[in-house]
Every structure is written in C-alpha cells, then in structure tokens.
Amino acid sequence: MVYSTNPDFSFDTEEDTEPETLPREQQPLRTSIEKKNRGGKVVTVIRGFIGTEEDLKALGKLLKTRCGVGGAVKDGEILIQGEWRDKIVTLLRSEGYKQTK
C-alpha cells in the first residue's frame, strides 16, 4: 500500500454502481440465434439490456417461464435454450419493450 503525504488526499471509496434500469419502452433489446461454441445446440440470445443485474435476471426468468425451457443469464445476456426468436420478440413487445428486434 502507498501512503500519501498530501493532507488533502482522500481514498476513492466509491464502488462501481450499476446503471439505472431504463424504462421498458427505451430498452434496445436484440434477439439472435446462435449455434457456435455451444456443442451444436441452438440458443436464442437476447442482448442490449441496460439496467441492474436483478432486473436482467427477472426478465430472463420471465422469458424462460413463458417459453417453458431452460436458460441462463450470463455477461449481460439472456440465453434461452432452443430456437425461440419469434416467440421471444412477441413476448417482449407484449411486455412493453418497444425497441425489440
């Protein structure tokens, strides 16, 4: 540890704060199908969510429940097992996510 001799020195104790969750109609969500690096399995990936990790997990849980399949929330992405792109886009729009593609 390095100590400062400056009497006005103060440690930055601010932790990284998560971004505020944008309203649903402003979320720029993008849905795609991926097969690479997944052992030949097809996965629907939802990217672009801006907000807290808890809100992202809640959205992932909603989508997994509505599709009736498994999945995960990793690295700011929602992974849904299977090819569900069209159904997920429809579900997101019905939930109020207007900028979904």
* Claim: this prediction has a pTM higher than 0.85: no
Report pLDDT digits (tens) over 38-95.
788 999 999 999 999 999 999 999 999 999 999 999 999 999 999 999 999 999 999 8
Name the more confident of 33 and 13. 33
Buried-exposed string 51-66: b where 16+ CB fall within 10 A, e elsewhere: beeebbeebbeebbeb
Hey, which CATH number is domain 42-94, 3.30.1950.10, 3.40.50.1450, 3.30.780.10, 3.30.40.10?
Answer: 3.30.780.10
